[in-house]
Amino acid sequence: MDESKYVKVNKRDNVAIALNDIPKGTQLAPGVIARHDIPQAHKITLEPIAENGAVIRYGVTLGYVKRDTPAGSWINEDSLVLPVPPALDEMEWGCDIATDLPEPVASTWEGYPAADDGFAGTRNILAIHTTVQCVTGVVNVAVDRIRRELLPSYPHVDDVVPINHAYGCGVAINAPEAKVPIRALRNLLRHPNFGGQTMIVGLGCEKLTVEMLLADQPELNCADNVIILQEHRGFEAMIEAILSMARQKLERLERRRRESLPISKLLVGLQCGGSDAFSGVSANPSAGYAADMLVAAGGTVLFSEVTEVRDGVYLLARRCVSKSVADRLAEEMRWYDTYLELGGVDRSANPTPGNKKGGLSNIVEKAMGSIAKSGTSPIVEVLSPAERPREHGLIYAATPASDIVCGPCQLASGIGVQVFMTGRGTPYGLAAAPVLKLCSRNEMKEQWFDIIDINAGPVATGEKTIAEMGTMVFRKIIEVASGRDQPYSERYGLHNDLCIFNPAPIT
């Protein structure tokens, strides 16, 4: 068998992934000759599969073939019937609790300690929070001036970031699901990168009042921290008020210094986007290895993306440390099933044309690759979107899979670094925390040599082991978190808008 041409992940698999384009007629194994041109990253059958037979990758059923399929066939989204999603009732839990996590290669990092003794900051940022989108124009004009006129005098402050969002008014503020965006905005106020300096710009007539935003920190609602535009006489007065408050906050942020901290003070988020069939072979398992090492070192890691774990949820339930954690997992899955159903769709709406071009035939295959980023650690907690963790260890944060929505949710949970795995490539970034990019294929790194931070392609080609690559990822996380290294997206200032998840209606 010519194993330099393909990757088979699990010994039960009856399909493999083409390492490069495989021309029709290529002999892959005795009796296995490519019957079509197989594009790189796509699946090829290693044995005949009868009509309605299961296509198996990662040891699980991706779907069922529509017709008799000989060995050497190309399997793509058109070949497969999607299986029903796994049941959520009475999932087995706690029967797959790993204890053999990798030995950490570092035990400390350099961060900004949080006043509340929680997770520490990885950057020193002046955040200007907003209650409502209405104030965005004024805040942006002020932020431009702060960047040009004030920031240069505060060399220890990394940036000023407006927390602009589409929420706050013109929404059904009492809708049951309004709690999601409101929680996100409340928890963003507490992000450790903002150094406990609170600065809020409100309008004055919005539904999301400052009182509501600060419901769990009412002591912060005072003139030192809050500017209401309707209370100011004219535009220049508004801008001057914002600049003046920014100066006060910058003075205090300027005094922050990094300290050597245990890894228990580090909160790392993981997500993938623009995935391909190698994502589950190289980039995601390497991130998963790094996650295991972080957990072994006492660190805390979030992974997310509900529609991308839905088909493997029973595998995650087995890793939950208690029935209550497994029950929370099922509850979040049920919520999302209903949310999609109300919109007239289901989990099959997740995969993108790019995923399919990249060889990911359906959501089951995408999910199995996506879950690989969680490594093997026990799951100690499940969070609703944008909740803050209470535990330490591996945590499932149930956010949408959408990169630009998952990002702000994890940011609201308090992540100091996000590791982002990609197969097709996206220039995604967050303004308030560094995003480190890990690609699945050598070709991706060649194409975006100055955007991709780490290339996990050598794992796919067998040049590096997952342990070697995962250790590199772990070290890079520590360097970036400690401010000794900047990912490309941070260097260039590539930032996405802060797209807050709002499952409630607009009025």
DSSP 8-state symbol, 53: P
Query: Does the footprint of Ca ion cover residue 438 (CB under 5 A)?
Result: no
Task: Please list every residue from 157 through 176 that binds its own copies, using CB under 8 A.
Answer: 164, 166, 169-176
Query: Does the footprint of Ca ion cover residue 203 (CB under 5 A)?
Result: no
Cβ distance 429 to 403 under 8 Å? no
Edge to edge, the sheet with strand 74-75 lists: 6-7, 15-18, 43-45, 74-75
Cβ distance 201 to 213 under 8 Å? no
Stretch that binds its own copies, among 11-19, 93-101, 342-350, 387-395 (CB under 8 A): 342-350
Query: Does the footprint of its own copies cover residue 5 (CB under 8 A)?
Result: no
Q: Which is nearer to Ca ion, 308 or 365 (CB)?
A: 308
Q: Select the residue interacting with its own copies from 160, 340, 419, 433 (CB under 8 A).
A: 340
DSSP 8-state symbol, 329: H
Query: Does the footprint of its own copies cover residue 357 (CB under 8 A)?
Result: yes
> Which amino acid appears at position 482 of this protein?
S
User: How many Cβ atoms sit within 10 Å of the Cβ of residue 96?
Assistant: 14
Stretch that binds its own copies, among 63-71, 137-145, 240-248, 370-378 (CB under 8 A): 137-145
> Which amino acid appears at position 194 of this protein?
F
Number of residues counted as binding its own copies (CB under 8 A): 83
CA distances, 312 to each of 88, 304, 381 (Å): 11, 13, 17
Stretch that binds its own copies, among 119-127, 322-330, 396-404, 475-483 (CB under 8 A): 396-404
Cβ distance 276 to 355 under 8 Å? yes
Query: Does the footprint of its own copies cover residue 40 (CB under 8 A)?
Result: no
Selection from its own copies, Ca ion, none that 82 binds (CB < 5 to 8 A by kind) is: none
Q: Which is nearer to its own copies, 74 or 488 (CB)?
A: 488
Query: Does the footprint of its own copies cover residue 467 (CB under 8 A)?
Result: no
User: How many Cβ atoms sit within 10 Å of the Cβ of residue 188?
Assistant: 23
Query: Does the footprint of Ca ion cover residue 440 (CB under 5 A)?
Result: no
Radius of gyration over every alpha carbon of the chain, rounded to an integer in angstroms:
24
Query: Does the footprint of its own copies cover residue 257 (CB under 8 A)?
Result: no
Cα(254)–Cα(237) distance, integer angstroms: 25
Q: Which is nearer to its own copies, 129 or 464 (CB)?
A: 129
Query: Does the footprint of Ca ion cover residue 401 (CB under 5 A)?
Result: yes
Query: Does the footprint of its own copies cover residue 135 (CB under 8 A)?
Result: yes
Task: Please list every residue from 277 through 296 that binds its own copies, using CB under 8 A.
Answer: none
Task: Please list every residue from 95 through 134 that binds its own copies, using CB under 8 A.
Answer: 133-134
Selection from its own copies, Ca ion, none that 271 binds (CB < 5 to 8 A by kind) is: Ca ion
Task: Please list every residue from 453 through 492 that binds Ca ion, using CB under 5 A.
Answer: 490
Angle at 79 between CA 77 and CA 81, to 5 degrees: 85
Q: Which is nearer to its own copies, 278 or 474 (CB)?
A: 278
CA distances, 63 to each of 184, 264, 277, 305 (Å): 36, 41, 15, 21
Stretch that binds its own copies, among 32-40, 44-52, 326-334, 355-363 (CB under 8 A): 355-363
What phi, psi does 504 have (nearest 5°)?
A: -95, 165
Query: Does the footprint of its own copies cover residue 218 (CB under 8 A)?
Result: no
Contact pattern for Ca ion over residues 281 through 310, marking x by CB under 5 A: ------------------------x--x--
In 14-133, where do the E strands start and end?
15-18, 27-29, 32-33, 43-45, 54-57, 60-65, 74-75, 80-81, 108-111, 125-130
Cα(181)–Cα(385) distance, integer angstroms: 9
Structure tokens at 103: 């030995």
Selection from Ca ion, its own copies, none that 202 binds (CB < 5 to 8 A by kind) is: none
User: How many Cβ atoms sit within 10 Å of the Cβ of residue 479?
Assistant: 18
Query: Does the footprint of its own copies cover residue 353 (CB under 8 A)?
Result: yes
Query: Does the footprint of its own copies cover residue 427 (CB under 8 A)?
Result: yes
Query: Does the footprint of Ca ion cover residue 273 (CB under 5 A)?
Result: yes
Cα(368)–Cα(24) distance, integer angstroms: 28
Binding site for Ca ion (CB under 5 A): 159, 271-273, 305, 308, 401, 403, 406, 490
